Homo-oligomer: A and B are copies of this chain.
């Protein structure tokens, strides 16, 4: 069996279901950060995952005769591996949830946009209908929002977690783990 398991983004974000799957695994893949978040419950072999389609299909074959768990930081269905690897997905707490909790904004009032290592599309059209919650990296240019006041939520659950509020034109994305919030 192949499971894609969300590990959350803070220490102690793991659900009891996720912990059970990790404990029962024969082999575990993940990023350095994901393996670290789950380390207390890993008793089998663990390997760093490569982010490419060949690796995903190799892991799928490998899981035919053993219990393989692929860890995903946050939730596997939020800019994650859940839609890329053909396994059973176990949800985890995502940075989106944490950002919304800090902002006091409901998910049903936003559009979540993946601008992590890719170009975000339809920002202008979406902003007419919803607030934007953008998963951004250093390459994302917030000056497109001009004089609008926005939030930059940086490095959630890391030692250098930080929230900045100001006019978009005056701000820069300085961390690859940044969430940009723009009010409709």
Write out, one digit per residue, whether chain A residues 47-86 have a CB within 8 A of any chain B CB (1) or not (0).
Answer: 0000000000000000000000000000111111011000
Q: Which residues of A139-172 are within 8 A (CB) of B? A: none
Give the residue of B77, B107, B126, B135 whose beta carbon is less than 8 angstroms from that of A105. Answer: B77
CB distance from A74 to the nearest CB of B (A): 10
Q: A13 touching B12 by the CB < 8 A rule?
A: no
Closest chain B CB from A97 CB (angstroms): 4
- The answer to whether A25 has its CB under 8 Å from any CB of chain B is no
Pick the residue among B16, B90, B97, B114 that contacts A77 (CB under 8 A).
B97
Chain B residues closer than 8 Å to A114, beta-carbon distance = 106, 108
Q: B112 to A122, Cβ gap below 8 A?
A: no
Confirm or deny: A173 has a beta carbon within 8 angstroms of a beta carbon on chain B: no
The interface residues of chain A, by DSSP majority, are classed as mixed
Q: Chain B contacts of A89 at CB under 8 A?
A: 101-102, 104
Q: Give residues 107-127 of A contacting B (CB, 8 Å).
A: 107-108, 111-114, 122, 125-126
- In the complex formed, the residue of B with least CB distance to A86 is B104
Contact A75 B97 (CB under 8 A): yes
Across the interface, do B91 and A105 meet the contact criterion of CB distance under 8 Å? Answer: no
Q: Is the CB of A10 within 8 A of B17?
A: yes
Return the chain B residue nearest A96 by Cβ. B107
Is A44 engaged at the interface, CB distance under 8 Å to the other chain? Answer: no
Contact B97 A108 (CB under 8 A): no
Known: A77-B100, A129-B122. A16 touches B12 (CB 8 A): yes
- Asked if A93 CB lies within 8 Å of chain B CBs, one says yes
Asked if A30 is an interface residue, CB under 8 A from chain B, the answer is: no
Query: What residues of chain A have their CB less than 8 Å away from a CB belonging to chain B?
Result: 8, 10, 12-17, 20, 75-80, 82-83, 89-94, 96-98, 100-102, 104-108, 111-114, 122, 125-126, 128-130, 135
